[in-house]
Amino acid sequence: MTTTLHEHESSDTYDPEDLIGAPYAVVESDPFVFTSMMQRFGVTGVQAEEIVSLDLIESITWPYGFILCFKWESDSYAPEDYLNEESDTEIPWFAHQLSNDSCATLSILNVLMNCTDIDLGRTLTAFKAFTSNMDPTMRGLSIVNSRELRDVHNSFARPADLRASLSRITNETIEAGKSSKKSSKKAQRGKSKKSKDEALDSYHFLSYVPYQDRVWEMDGLKRAPLECSEIEDGQSWVEAVLPALRSRIEAFSRNGSISFTLLAVNASSYHQKLEDFELAKREIIFLERRLNDEFGEDWKKTVPNELWSSRDSSFSQSWPTHLRPGFGSRSNDTSMRVLHLSIDKLRGEWEGCVNRLVAKQLAVEDELRKDALSHVQNINRTHDYEPFIREYITRLYHNGFLRDILEVDAQGRFLRQSKGKRK
């Protein structure tokens, strides 16, 4: 999916000076949410796509990374597995998670910061430069205190979740003030049980990226990235990461959990289809130049009006285009291919190219329709309905309708229950 109609303009420079540390809120592991977050960070040409089955993962040509969302439980964490200091391999960019519910943004950054062929935009480029010489803990602290990153993250949270994150900070502050007082053993056991129950309902994100011919798993709650496997010669990194993903998902299944989401961070399908559309337009222009050189303007008189109408209609369409560096090479290859076409094939090739152009235009418009639908769903998801509901119930009460709807008497007792007791 793409959100090109709703992209956010990032600031010119990265401003790290926000020491207030307002909280991050929970966001859903929805592909549209992650795609929109990346675009609002200023990244172009990238999307998040949900992988519904590992059997389909190899259909993705070359993803930039994977993000696995799952219900968090304590694992068999062995610190020695994460000792990379003695390794001669360069460690990828990695940050610790130092704020509750910031793992969505953290998982995105742990992927994007290790990509060399992505346009990160002004905000993330500046952030990468600012944190390049920091250790993982200081990078995590920079994420916590980044107003820009936090504002984008929280713009995709539900208002109730934003209020919950503020409430949690308030409660933690109050509890910290009481920490000097001795708690009874019973209270300690109750608190410990509550923390465990809360942990079972929390979700966490892992990132998987290729770096220096190796596959790395990045967990912001661990001390360092974990090296999963080496990428052999002639092997795609998707093949190399599959065993690690299967192992994680099988572990979830053994624990009785099926609540997980796998997202692939890859090239935007909208931008790919838009590039294909633009390339088809250039191919038509190349063909028309050759046709004019070979036959003059007379060849146009033999073309059906419907075909010319389709051609002109498609050429009149214009969308914001972000052409990746490889587009120029593809355009040159197309130009050379047209140049070497035999004269008798020019006319048929032109007609076929016009028909393909129309199909590619429909594909771009379909992406825009999906984007618009997802955008409306996101508005519905993040809109604050509480003021409306509160006012609606208040009006029902003041106008005397609420008692009839709830079927209660003046004392608030249910009428059916009261009648039952009388009988």
Catalytic residue list: 103, 204
CA trace torsion 165, 170, 176, 178 (10° rounding):
-140
Residue 127, CA distances (Å) to 39, 139, 255 in order: 15, 10, 38
For 215, other C-beta atoms within 10 Å of its C-beta total: 25
The Cα–Cα gap between 39 and 45 comes to 8
Q: Is the CB of residue 3 less than 8 Å from the CB of residue 39?
A: yes
φ/ψ of 261, rounded to 5, equals -135, 135
Q: Which residues are bridge partners to 216 per DSSP?
A: 209, 227
For 420, other C-beta atoms within 10 Å of its C-beta total: 9
The H or E element that residue 217 is part of is strand 214-218
Residue 89, CA distances (Å) to 110, 112, 211, 215, 217 in order: 18, 20, 10, 12, 15
Query: CA angle 109-154-132, nearest 5°?
Result: 25
Place of tokens 């990132």: 207
The Cα–Cα gap between 409 and 423 comes to 17
- Per DSSP, the three-state class of 408 is strand
- Per DSSP, the three-state class of 140 is helix
Place of tokens 């050429």: 315
DSSP for 37-99 reads HHHHHT-BSEEEEE-S-GGGGGGSS--SEEEEEEE-------GGGG--TT-SSPPPP-----S
